[in-house]
Amino acid sequence: MLLVQYINTFSLNCRMKTLFEEIKASIKNNYDPDRSFWRPVLPWGGVFTIKAGRKAVSCTPLYVEINLKNTCTIDGFLMLLYVILHENEHFPKELSLHLGREFVDYFLYLMDSYNFTTVKLLWIWDKMEKQQYKSEVHKASLEIDLFGNEHDNFTKNLESLMSTIQESYCSNSRCPTRMQEDLHRTININPPQEIPHGDLIQRAVDELFCSKIELCEQYGCNGLREFTQRVFCHGAPPFVVLNMQQWKPEELAYVPYHLDLSDHKYLLEGATLFNKEEHHYSAAFQIDGYWIHYDGLRNVNLILLNKPPEFLLLSSLVYIRAAENK
């Protein structure tokens, strides 16, 4: 009886914390004055060893391990996706409709249990197109290189979440392109043209999403073109990724915490950052109101920030849909 009790307590104490619990505990118990800590968080790269069974011996496999390189183009987003799924209780179910239930369940299981190379392979094989990455066999290992742009490697593959459409109609009945549809697979916003002030990001989002009337650009047509509101093809998604690559640091002095987008309110959750000299991506996100910088290439891969990061080298902003006020 006593032994059973002992074993029960023992197994309870030894139950491994999930990655998310581990990060939360680190934030809570962080007494280190420089506020940086290493955790077994998603590292850069990865090696996946294929366990050769009896069958494999007879058919001589081409490779026995998979080597991942330059994975920072997906790492930051995978961390953000993980945090978003854990912090919002209804999102896993909703995201299952877009990304597939098996994908979401397996993704959470692999991240929770620190299977980082496998989770990257899940993304590569389930969500990426073959032509989006380079792969070749080196001796006995398959090398997959994700060098490139993170919007190509990640955001573009969220088509069912990020796709939007806007229709427009020209007032001139002889206009050869009277009805037009403008479909975007990602949300790419451009800084406003004139020297403006105030909330540039909200204005750029409005410019992309709001209805408007402009002169028709069709050659020789003097009609007025009326644009409808831009809408999400599959409903307002739980989170949005804004592609910020066109923005200069001086235009990013103010990053809004609240964003009105397609009749919904969104809240800032995180960002991905790009270091041009190193051609390297990292990410920042919030947990329980604390800002954390993540960089899988560094030994100190998580840094708890004193204040929200300065978004000077932005690659993207990530917003989550606010709960509806009832």
175 near Zn ion, judged by CB under 5 A: yes
Which C-beta is closer to Zn ion: that of 118 or that of 171? 171
Indicate whether 218 belongs to the interface with Zn ion (CB under 5 A).
Answer: yes
User: Should residue 180 be labelled a site residue for Zn ion when binding is judged by CB under 5 A?
Assistant: no
Among residues 218 and 286, whose Cβ is nearest to Zn ion? 218
For the chain, what's the residue count? 326
* DSSP single-letter state for residue 34: T
CB of 300 to Zn ion, least distance (A): 57
Residue from 223, 227, 228, 313 touching Zn ion (CB under 5 A): that is 223
Residue closest to 144 by CA, chosen among 129, 130, 134: 134
- Six-digit token string for 102: 């098996």
**215 vs 322, which CB is nearer to Zn ion?**
215
Q: Which stretch binds Zn ion (CB under 5 A): 17-25, 73-81, 130-138, 173-181?
A: 173-181
Count the residues of the shown chain that bind Zn ion, applying the rule CB under 5 A.
7
176 vs 249 by CB, closer to Zn ion: 176
Q: Report, in Å, the least distance between residue 167 CB and Zn ion.
A: 14
Q: Give one DSSP letter per residue of 249-282, joined into a string.
A: GGGGS---SEEEETTEEEEEEEEEEEETTTTEEE
221 binds Zn ion (CB under 5 A): yes
Q: Quote the least distance from Cβ 171 to Zn ion, whole Å.
A: 7
Query: Whole-angstrom Cα distance, residue 274 to residue 295?
Result: 11
> Angle of helix 101-112 relative to helix 19-28, nearest 10 degrees?
50
Q: Which residues of 212-232 are buried (b: 16+ CB within 10 A; e: fewer)?
A: eeeebebeebebebebeebbb
Among residues 175 and 303, whose Cβ is nearest to Zn ion? Answer: 175
Residue 172 CB, nearest approach to Zn ion (Å):
5
Side-chain-facing half-sphere of 126: CA atoms under 13 Å: 16
Tell me the two tokens of residue 182. 């403008």
In whole angstroms, what is the distance from residue 272 CA to residue 286 CA?
12
**Residue number, 128 or 221, with CB nearest to Zn ion:** 221
Least separation in angstroms between residue 173's CB and Zn ion is: 9
Question: Does the protein bind Zn ion through residue 170 (CB under 5 A)?
Answer: yes
What distances in angstroms separate CA 203 from CA 66, 190, 193, 194, 255, one per listed residue?
Answer: 45, 10, 11, 12, 12
Rama region for 288: left / alpha / beta (φ>0; ψ in -120 to 50; rest): left
Among 216, 242, 268, 317, binds Zn ion (CB under 5 A): 216
Q: Compute the distance between CA of residue 227 and CA of residue 151 in angstroms, rounded to an integer.
A: 27
Is 81 among the residues that bind Zn ion (CB under 5 A)?
Answer: no
Nearer to Zn ion, 149 or 218 (CB): 218
Q: Pick out residues in 9-68 that bind Zn ion (CB under 5 A).
A: none
In the complex, the residues that contact Zn ion under the rule CB under 5 A are: 170, 172, 175, 216, 218, 221, 223
